[in-house]
Amino acid sequence: MIGFALKTLRHRKGAFAGAFVALLCAAALVSACLMLLETGLRGSVAPERYAGAPAIVAADQFVRESVDKGDGKTKTKAKPLTERAWLPGSVVAALKGTPSVSKVITEVTFPFGEYTGHGWESAALTPFTIAEGREPREAGEIVVDARAGLAVGARLRGHQVVGVTAQALPSQDTVFFSTAEARRLAGRPGQVSAAGVFPGLAEAPEGAVLYTGDERGRLEFLDAEQARVKLISMGGALAGTSLLVAILVVVGTFALSIQQRQREIALLRAVAATPRQVRALVGGEALLVGVAAGVLGSAAGLGLGLWLHSTFVALGATPANLRLVVSPFPAFVALPATVGAAWVAARVSARRLARIRPVEALGEAALDRGRLPWPRLAAGLAAAAGGAVLTLVLSGLSTEAAATPVTMLTALVWTISLALLGPLVARAVVRALPLRGTGVSGYLAARSLRAAPKGLAAVLSPLTLMVAMTCTILFAQTTAGHAAQEQADAGSLAGHVLPGAAASASAVARVPGVEAVTPVLRTSVRVGLTKYAAQAVAYDPRTIDLGVVSGSMKGFGAGSVALSRTAADGLGLAVGGQVRLTLGDGTPATLGVAAVYTRGLGFGDLTLPYELVAGHVDDPAGTLLVSAPTLTGDALAAAVPGSVVLDRAQAAEVSAANPQVTFVALGLIIAFTAIAVVNTLAMATSGRSKELAVLRLAGTTPRQILRMLRLETLCAVLTAAVAGTAISWVTLSAFGAGMTGSATPYVPPVAYALVLAASAALALAATALPARLALRTRPADAVSTA
């Protein structure tokens, strides 16, 4: 049958072109997502600043927890810290006393504007050498790298340049201070960022971790380690979602292809072809198309993966020095997944037609009665039940990491249910829409839709999928963002905000007209292994209102913590309880719960004392919230030289989360569904060339036929818009109920209108082009060819 299938493909290239395009796009999308996943799992970063040291000893940059596996054994799980963990001086002393160690070079690292500051003691770790001038010796003196473009005698952020190095690092701008000044600016007395060990070390002393080879790069670039974790979760979720979408699209495409070949298959049955032979023929065709599309799609996935990686780097989500891993693994997974999806889709689509008797097969081909087989009806109802269960589960998820993949899956399962029950929906739509009163074209459109509801159902599935997925992806972001902004606006009482303040809170508080100043640091903490967004504040009710519903912020200070209601419910804590947590740099703390508040999306799930966190973040230059009703922003800026003063609206715009990375990643799925819409509609229209020719022979003009097709397409678009909107609304309501406490999603009207307009324009274009090509052929030739 493979040889017969090859001949069939050769003579029916157009019939299989749609399936080929769908499979190629599916393979490319899955392959690209798997490249991101593999980069997260196996990606490495070459060391730069530590390149000259054979071994680096530093603190453990992970929080670890032993988990009981239930069989008497335990497993240790680890999650990366969000701030740099520092090494105690006692470990450095132990290293210096190790017999095999000849030299220990310590370093401190801290932000200095857009530069990274270090003590000159650590220059040998790269190594850096002086090309011009001399090394720094006292406070106020700095050495800049060769890329800074500064000469000896220049000034940088109030410091005098006394030297320029001969080297520069590829991905970081470096400034050196004297050793004593660097340690003072780092603000970590008795601690160092890391220690280089010469000529090497067999194992690290207790309380430290040994880094060699590319592991030195993972220590040097902690953001790369965090990006790896994000790529693992994003790549896995995207690959799974892409595969599910691909299966749905491919099944629909093959179903339409088999539907257009019903008469051909019926004739094969009439000339004694057995059901097994028919299934083997269709399966062989699917294997041939799947292999060809899978190979090309996997190759295209390489380019798509490279583009995704470069885009994430440009958006700042992935460090440029986290190299993309390119291996055969994504292709080895994407190819069999694509071929398997094609084979299963084709066999399932041809199963019913291959099993019926030849005479009945010819009858089925001649007239579409729109009956729904009971297995398909049962599967559709089961999918609807699954969608309902997932909706309930989603309404109880209150963290973005847990809710995002379930949100996509919920919309997909509801769409699968609609695809399975599509003929029933199509029949109901045809009866409801008033097409008869729109002239000859309306009459023809109504008769065509009523005679072949499966045709409408076939184009309805990808259209609904596109509307549902696009609305879900876009408006999940707007729903969460709008709720967070509302909470931040309601709780922000300060009239002025000083981001990255150059002045201290006490200096601003001395400005005449200033009533209250609240310093704020943004960080994250872990309770167990679960990460929570947190803020550290010197709480003042004149600048912040967290929406406290239990307990009180009076007396909030050392030893206290306030929890959002979401965090309190998730941790099972109430006022008076205690929470054991790990600060961003790995420092453990046990704090008493002083209050529970409602505005967690706007201010973070945990609010900590400023004094507790200030010494445990990489960048201590946080934000100052200033209440000064009688001062304008310009007046406050003049009183605090060197500081940027924003009003509340400007600060909200700056601090708003950037969803571009999510849109880029999930936008690929939207693009795939858009391609599926064009593909399906083009196939459906091209497959009706004989029908259009018969209509022309009966006296119908080309203009009337084009108008008839437009009406049919608009009918499908309208139905898909209603169904897709309903699916996304149910999904987003559950998402909002869990994440924001409100079951009303935030849908910007302009964005929603653009989604519907784009869907309609795409569908009409995909219908008009093949229709015009079909109408160029003379009716008699089209009938004889068909």
- Tell me the C-alpha distance between 190 and 206, whole Å: 17
Residue 80 pairs in a beta bridge with: 62
The token pair that represents 689 in the structure block: 């060339």
Copy the structure tokens of residue 330. Answer: 């994504």
Please give the pLDDT value at position 359: 58
In this structure, what DSSP letter does residue 606 have?
E
| Positions in the chain short of pLDDT 50 | 366-367, 654, 656-657, 786
C-alpha separations of 704 from 212, 436, 437, 442, 695 in Å: 75, 14, 14, 9, 10
Nearest Cα residue to 242 out of 673, 735, 726, 729: 673
β-pair partners for 580: 590
pLDDT at 656: 47
CA 495 to chain centre: 34
What tokens does 108 get?
A: 């401190």
Residues 6+ apart with CB under 8 A from 621: 111, 500, 501, 502
Sign of CA dihedral 744, 748, 749, 754: negative
Torsion on CA atoms 575, 581, 585, 587, rounded to nearest 10: 100
Residue type, 109: T
- Integer Cα distance of 324 and 40 in angstroms: 9
How far apart CA 87 and CA 309 sit, in angstroms, is 33
User: Is residue 117 within 8 Å of residue 109, measured between CB atoms?
Assistant: yes
The token pair at 163 is 């030297």
pTM of the model: 0.81
Alpha-carbon distance of 459 to 393, in angstroms, equals 30
Q: What is the H or E stretch that residue 499 is in?
A: strand 496-499
Q: How far is it, in rounded angstroms, from Cα 142 to Cα 134? A: 10
Q: Are 662 and 477 in contact (CB under 8 A)?
A: yes
Q: Is the omega angle on the peptide bond into residue 641 within 30 degrees of 0, that is, cis? A: no
Q: First and final CA of the chain: distance in angstroms?
A: 24
Max Cα separation, the chain? 101
Which residue type, as a one-letter code, is found at position 712?
Answer: E
Q: Are strands 209-211 and 109-112 parallel, antiparallel or unpaired?
A: unpaired
- The predicted-structure confidence for 92-148, as pLDDT tens digits, reads as follows 999 998 888 999 999 999 999 889 999 999 999 999 999 999 999 999 999 999 999
Alpha-carbon gap, residue 71 to 262, rounded angstroms: 56
Going from N- to C-terminal start, the domains of the chain cover 1-45+221-367, 55-217, 375-483+658-786, 501-643
Give the closest residue to 414 by CA, choosing from 448, 371, 461: 461
At position 360, the amino acid (one-letter code) is E
SS3 670: helix
Structural Rg of the chain based on CA atoms = 32
Q: Give the amino acid at 691.
A: E
